[in-house]
Amino acid sequence: MKGKGLCVYLHVPFCAGKCGYCSFYSAVPSAGDIEGYLDALAAEIALWRDRLGVPALRTLYVGGGTPSLLPFGAWKRLIALLEGLGDWSALEEATAEANPCSLSEGLLALWRSSFFTRVSLGVQSLDDGELKALGRRHDASLALRAIERVVRAGLRVGADLIFGVPGQTVRSWAASLRGVLEAGAQHVSAYQLTLEPDTPMGVQDPALPDGYPFYRYAQWFLPRRGLLQYEIASFAPPGGECRHNLAYWRQEDVLALGPSAWGYLAGRRYANPGTLDAYVGAARKGFPGAEQTGETLTPRGRGVEAAILALRTRWGIDRADFAARWGLPLLREVESVLGAVPSRHVRDDGQSLALTSAGMRVGNAIWAELLALEEA
């Protein structure tokens, strides 16, 4: 079921330095960069206000980069700009990403006094050797203190963790999972380390351990601590899911703000200019349409994508809703593909089709079969 209101993703492109595995766009800010970014953001928000009027805003996610790296004064201006974007009275959730090294008590108080409700913390590991291998700037003790600080501030906290790190063991992975929960994390996102060739670690091409035992352990351990797997990489208690992330899996409209941000509006997937310089330059020109790239999906393509995205979640494909939106013939094709998948990987209760825990572990192969329906 789609929620009412617009979801917003804002990209803050600044980092203290580049982690060895990171392929997201970010840059170390030079003099004037933060002010130029905020000026461009003000122009972009004004543009969308002209186009959308005063939209009702439902979720906000401020990602990066490292949003917590912004100075306190810059954050005050950023919040003021966001307040002018639309109507926040029905806001369900607002998340800010943070790193342990740059998370201050003052910033947490500012977030708590505005509209933010949760913090997504880049813990990645509670093993100092693994953190060093990843090029992280914090140690395990600082990460644990950061989680506790967020909890004391009265905000919900999610911990991002990475598995498949060089030298990592299931024992150290288990300690990281257990440690973040004991410190107070209410949400865990578990990502397998993948290395793009243009990243420092990708150039080094180190041997990576098989991710399967780590992922399977998370699927076993976290539900026993009350965190259900509600999405391919995310675990939370019932009702504690990240609502902004669910908007992506449910094909809800997401407005993209900031350099390199991707959005989805009215069936069109689009991207903002990919670097800070290009973004600031586009703002000076009034953000002409040529500055944005993207694609408009065909109805069939949107339907196939809807099936794949739904299968990323524990709720899966609601047959009645899918047939109403995309047609009974496409539903039958999806059912045919899933019918050929071993029964231990798919749960079918008559009303919905969803992947089991075992199915989540081979999800990429299943989605590839469904993706072929786009060309059928």
Q: What is the pTM of this model?
A: 0.95
Work out how many domains the chain is built from and give that number.
2
Beta bridge partners of 190: 161
Task: Examine the domain organization and report whether 62 and 131 are in the same domain.
Answer: yes
The DSSP code sequence of 272-333 is: --SSHHHHHHHHHTT--GGG-EEEEPPHHHHHHHHHHHHTTBSS-EEHHHHHHHH-HHHHHH
Task: Examine the domain organization and report whether 146 and 220 are in the same domain.
Answer: yes
Note the pLDDT of residue 17.
Answer: 87
Task: Examine the domain organization and report whether 84 and 229 are in the same domain.
Answer: yes
CATH number of the domain that residue 353 is part of: 1.10.10
The last residue of one of the domains, among 249, 264, 285, is 249
Note the pLDDT of residue 1.
Answer: 37
91 falls within a domain: yes
Task: Examine the domain organization and report whether 229 and 102 are in the same domain.
Answer: yes
Range of the domain at 369: 299-375
Note the pLDDT of residue 3.
Answer: 56
Task: Examine the domain organization and report whether 226 and 370 are in the same domain.
Answer: no
Task: Examine the domain organization and report whether 113 and 202 are in the same domain.
Answer: yes
Task: Examine the domain organization and report whether 70 and 203 are in the same domain.
Answer: yes
Note the pLDDT of residue 375.
Answer: 81
Task: Examine the domain organization and report whether 230 and 368 are in the same domain.
Answer: no
68 falls within a domain: yes
327 falls within a domain: yes
C-alpha dihedral, 137 to 141 to 147 to 151, nearest 10° = -140
Note the pLDDT of residue 77.
Answer: 98
Q: Average pLDDT for consecutive 10-residue bins of the chain (376 residues)?
A: 80 90 87 96 95 94 96 98 96 98 97 97 98 94 98 98 97 98 98 87 87 97 98 97 96 95 90 94 81 80 96 98 97 97 96 97 94 86
Note the pLDDT of residue 292.
Answer: 60
In whole angstroms, give the CA distance from residue 232 to residue 243: 15
The last residue of one of the domains, among 207, 226, 249, is 249
